[in-house]
Amino acid sequence: MPEGDTIFRAARTLHRALAGTVVVRFESMFPALDRVQDDAPLTGRTIERVHAAGKHVLMHFSAGLVLRTHMRMNGSWHIYRPGERWQRSRRDMRVLIGTATFEAVGFNIPVAEFIASRDIPRHPELRRLGPDVLSETFDPEEAMRRLRERADIPVADALLNQRAIAGLGNVYKSEVLFMCGVNPFLPVSRLDSSSLAAIVDTAKRVLRANVSERLAPMTTYGGLRTTTRRDDPKERLWVYGRARLPCRKCGTPVSVKKQGLDARLTYWCQVCQR
């Protein structure tokens, strides 16, 4: 599943390419979107802005219409010049929004809907989001409060709960807990305030580092995230995807185990994260 940094970069690139331009072409594989297009055409509207809310991309159009998309496991947004060859097959296209200068193509997007901008504060998915680590208004104290509300579940599962803290996915879950020296299977209730604060601060720091302007500023897909600050692509992460390889700090083989209701893989070092 794309994580918060990927969604943030996608929204930023879409905004730079599309904001202030007029829609001249719209295609969709979603009947509900097509009905809106038939009743109140998207073509002719101005794209006002695009931004991320957790793992959601919100594209605002004139006259108070918003397109909400969620990538789930395999979705992605691409930007192309009109006539440019796509990097994905036409059969994977789910949504296309074209202007005179760019085409935004959503591939394999499972969730897409039009909502009125006035309804965003009441939207069932958006209003329950926890503090977004990539938001300028991120509230670490509120994130800590919401994590404490999940006192009896393992901290790794709590970090994946978008209602507690929005933006983290499976990669950052493992990386942040390793960087903080916290066992991923420890219940949140076992963490003191300083440990919890360190986890929240580290999550904010590493995600924001991975949306830096110097990192592929005009692409919505691809790119390698890093938590180690090393330039070598083979050394970019501490533990994620490194099962049985030596820990970069102590040399102990990195462990991996399925965790949570969705059986997501958790990577950790049994020595550094006792």
**What does the pLDDT read at residue 218?**
44
Task: Write out the H or E segment, with its range, that includes residue 57.
Answer: strand 56-61
pLDDT(215) > 60 = no
140 tagged catalytic? no
CA 238 to mean position of chain CA atoms: 20
pLDDT(39) > 70 = yes
CB-based burial label for 108 (10 Å; 0-12, 13-18, 19+):
middle
2 tagged catalytic? yes
The per-residue pLDDT for range 99-121, each reduced to its tens digit, is 999 999 999 999 999 999 999 99
246 tagged catalytic? no
**pTM, whole model, 2 decimals?**
0.92
154 tagged catalytic? no
Catalytic residue among 205, 236, 248, 264: 264
pLDDT(191) > 70 = yes
Catalytic residue among 3, 48, 103, 175: 3
**What does the pLDDT read at residue 224?**
72
Catalytic residue among 9, 12, 55, 150: 55
| Confidence label for 217 from pLDDT (cuts 50, 70 and 90) | very low
**What does the pLDDT read at residue 1?**
62
Residue 133 CB partners (closer than 8 Å, separation 6+): 4, 143, 165, 166, 167, 168, 200, 203, 204, 207, 208
Cβ neighbours of 77 (radius 10 Å): 26
Query: Helices marked H in the chain — which ranges?
Result: 4-18, 31-39, 140-148, 155-160, 170-179, 193-209
Residue 212 CB partners (closer than 8 Å, separation 6+): none
Among 195, 228, 198, 197, smallest CA distance to 210 is for: 228
Cα separation, 204 vs 95, whole angstroms: 31
CA 215 to mean position of chain CA atoms: 16
Identify the structural domains of the chain with CATH numbers, from first to last.
Answer: 4-122 (3.20.190.10), 140-268 (1.10.8.50)
First to last CA, the chain: 28
β-pairing, 76-80 vs 65-70, is unpaired
Tokens representing 196 are: 């919890």
